[in-house]
Chains A and B, each alone.
Chain A
């Protein structure tokens, strides 16, 4: 074997004659689509993550449901007294709000860690980063399903009439939330990988948002300018409400759908731009 390695002179020739040659570079669109097509893989990654959390426990995944149930019952009893609410109305409202909030806040929180935690994967094999985002959203969706058990128990016990066709409107709302979850995961994942100050910032912002978003108190308790600032201008209110409103027997406001659709388009546009621009750098940042 005495073949001498020679630097190639003209790449075009080789590229033309050899149809099988492909570039190792991946564009943002390829990453997103190929990642999505590996449903088996991200489904598994998400599912295993959920399962690992409850390894070696007896009641397993229902620990989240039980925690939520205890939380809702205690806070609900106090809250109903505090805001002078009817407990039959207030508990379903609180439980459905908390279910959605848990989904939204854990997607946001975990997305900060998306690429930081994924380093061990994409530094040892070639990887579509979007798979991590799909797995994250899928994992949180599975947790949401567990939490829905609490909703059904509460509603069946207190106000079975809420289980109507209106409740089905929660599904398109949920789809919108999950669709936004993917871009949020990717965007936050990229930003937090580069700037490590962002995760604690996001964490404290979320804590405050939990209080200023109408979760414990109905949006209608605020009026005038206060309502405008904390409810109408608060995107998290719309995110929560497109799913929560149908669950408490109300059709979501058109403006909430409008905000959600705008966020989906705007968020995806921004994320796609960022991903296109910085996808190449992700491995170098880690």
Chain B
């Protein structure tokens, strides 16, 4: 039976500056009282709060993954569980032997031989000499160092040292196993044997806690997971649920940033093709800001970008086809003070099924927008994606200054132009000179183009588009 109970555990690290740690300063603060004390009050107690208010209970059979970015407090939490740091406040109670795997061989000394180091390290982790000596044949056999064990460890390669440490630590009863992901195992062939032994070792452990920033590792080795951020537990539960959440939070930012870059590049290219305007240098420094003005139907991601769905849903693939978005005049429409989007829709001959569109259909994409301010040269544009992949951006060949009012613009995708797949269209309005995005509604329209099941046609033709080209095959 093994248990770990943490109750309201906090830990903070004092940071001592160069002048701060000195005895002189401590004495002088006492001696001079008031004036320096003020400096001391502000400057002296610089602490990094590594963990705050962690409560957690682990029982037999728990395989817990600690997920989080660098500095989230994973390692500190492990070290507290190992009893290396004592909590500044709160209590930790444990039952069972604890095996921390942070350092391959505690107390390793290069001058001592392999055998001597086995004994020293074994004793340091709490074994008696008899217990260690009983395990020596097993360690010898597993680490395959042979004669080297009688030589000083400084003559070993780093891989050999690691093998020795690994063989030693896995020889004992793990109890509660605390691991940081960087626990490596040397060369390839050994790594394979080590993996098997490690699996067996983890299998023997009552509780395992593994810190990692890879959700893949955690998924493969754990049954529970915890997400940590700035020293707090922000989520905990079954491994898949938590790993999904972590994956989303990590990848969401990356995807938004990537989209924004693509949009800017596309808009800049489209704009410069009209009148040679300098691609938007003024916008480059702007960043996509997380949604702040969240309404029911859409969220403003900043910089003219609007999202209709939760980004997490898009990433996790829970998206459905959508042939119409419309923003009635009584609700706030996406856009700025110059222009706003009223609606966007797909138009095909076969109106019955707008979710699945035949690739031989003529696909019309229509957007209706309202111009509020005069004096802008406005360019409506559609951004077509196949899944995550940019297919093309299209805008009208002629643009002009538009007076206030409601405008309708349509783009037609030729028959047989698109390949098969799930297509996504973003709807945008940009003004040129100066370049400005008034709105860009991501994922506005979505539809599926299926492969036609005709006998004899090759399946799985790659590429986002499949336009029919002019061909000549002649016999010479």
Contacts and interface: CB of A to CB of B under 8 A. Distances in A.
Nearest to B222: A1
Contacts of B82: 125-126
B57 A41 contact: no
Contact of A124 (B103, B112, B237): B103
A86 B252 CA distance: 89
Interface in A116-152: 120-127
B95 A21 contact: yes
A200 to B, nearest CB: 11
Interface in B1-19: 1, 3, 5, 7, 11, 13-14
A284 interface: yes
A35 to B, nearest CB: 13
A41 B93 contact: no
B116 interface: yes
Contacts of A52: 109, 111-112
Given A5-B56, A121-B106, A124-B102, A11 B91 contact: yes
Contacts of B103: 120, 124-125
B124 A125 contact: yes
Interface stretch (A12-20, A210-218, A237-245): A12-20
A201 B85 CA distance: 29
B26 interface: yes
Contact of B86 (A8, A38, A41, A280): A280
A91 to B, nearest CB: 36
Contacts of B109: 48, 52
Interface stretch (A70-78, A159-167, A191-199): A191-199
Contacts of A55: 111, 152
Contacts of B414: none
A198 B23 contact: yes
B224 A3 contact: yes
A45 B85 CA distance: 23
A195 B23 contact: yes
Interface residues of B, number: 59
Contacts of A18: 3, 95
A2 interface: yes
A269 interface: no
A18 B129 CA distance: 31
A195 B116 CA distance: 34
B67 interface: no
Interface in B61-107: 61-62, 64, 79-86, 88, 91-96, 98, 100, 102-103, 106-107
B324 interface: no
A153 interface: no
A40 interface: yes
A125 B120 contact: no
Interface string A10-37: 0100110010111111100000000000
B120 A48 contact: yes
Interface in B24-77: 24, 26, 55-58, 61-62, 64
A196 to B, nearest CB: 6
A81 to B, nearest CB: 42
A168 interface: no
Interface string A37-81: 010110011001000100100000000000000000000000000
A4 B224 CA distance: 8
Given A48-B116, A52-B109, A283-B85, A126 B93 contact: no
Given A20-B95, A285-B14, A8 B7 contact: yes
B172 to A, nearest CB: 13
Interface of A: 1-8, 11, 14-15, 18, 20-26, 38, 40-41, 44-45, 48, 52, 55, 120-127, 194-198, 201, 280, 283-285
Given A3-B223, A41-B123, 11 more contacts: A5-B236, A6-B57, A20-B1, A24-B93, A40-B128, A120-B107, A125-B106, A126-B82, A127-B124, A195-B22, A284-B14
5 contacts: A7-B56, A20-B1, A25-B92, A196-B21, A197-B23
